[in-house]
Amino acid sequence: MALVVQRKPLSWLENTYIPQILGGMKITLKHMFAPKVTLEYPEERPVIPENYRGVPTLVKDPNGRVKCVSCQLCEFVCPPKAIRIWPGEIPEEAETAHVEKEPDDFEIDMLRCIYCGLCEEVCPEEAIFLQDTFSVTGYSRDEFKFRKDKLLQLGGTLPDKHYKWDKKKEAALRGNEH
């Protein structure tokens, strides 16, 4: 059995819909004279909060050396598997031969990246950072695969808290441990 709900009949003014039209016009006029909230991007840029997680990038130390030692922790911890590292050996005659290894190539697929920040957290050498870049554009899928040179260009140079490059400081630290 259906339940019939009785409605109160509309008045003459409500039947003309004038109150509803005036209510809509009131809202429109209020928004017309309110201050604008639209940004004219790209001329105007939004204010980026301090804790914003943007594009992951590789960084160099103040001497211009790549901080990454190809430990591949970022590759293993990446949930969507967006990071690929091809480790390479450092030649024995090189000045930095005492460092473990360096990446031959490093690739981040920005179409797969979910900007979670796990790669930055797990990096023992502080070689990968999330920068405040938020507008990544391109015309093809291949343009969104950032290789080592593009990642280093975006990352730039950051101060180094580690002594892996300097043999004297490294030896001094080992001497203080004993």
pLDDT in tens, 46-100: 888 888 888 999 998 888 888 888 999 999 999 999 999 999 888 888 777 777 7
pLDDT exceeding 90 applies to what percent of the chain? Answer: 49
Domains with residue ranges and CATH for the chain: 56-161 (3.30.70.3270)
Signed CA dihedral, 87, 92, 95, 96: sign only: positive
What pTM was estimated for this model as a whole? 0.69
Instruction: Give backbone dihedrals phi and psi of 57, rounded to 5 degrees, phi first.
Output: -140, 160
Evaluate whether 145 touches 107 at the Cβ level (below 8 Å).
yes
Residues facing 84 on adjacent strands: 107
pLDDT score at 169: 55
CA dist., res. 178 & res. 142, Å (int): 51
Evaluate whether 163 touches 63 at the Cβ level (below 8 Å).
no
Question: pLDDT, tens digit, for every residue of 113-145?
Answer: 999 999 999 998 889 999 888 788 899 999 999
pLDDT score at 46: 85
Mean pLDDT of 166-171: 57
CA dist., res. 130 & res. 115, Å (int): 8
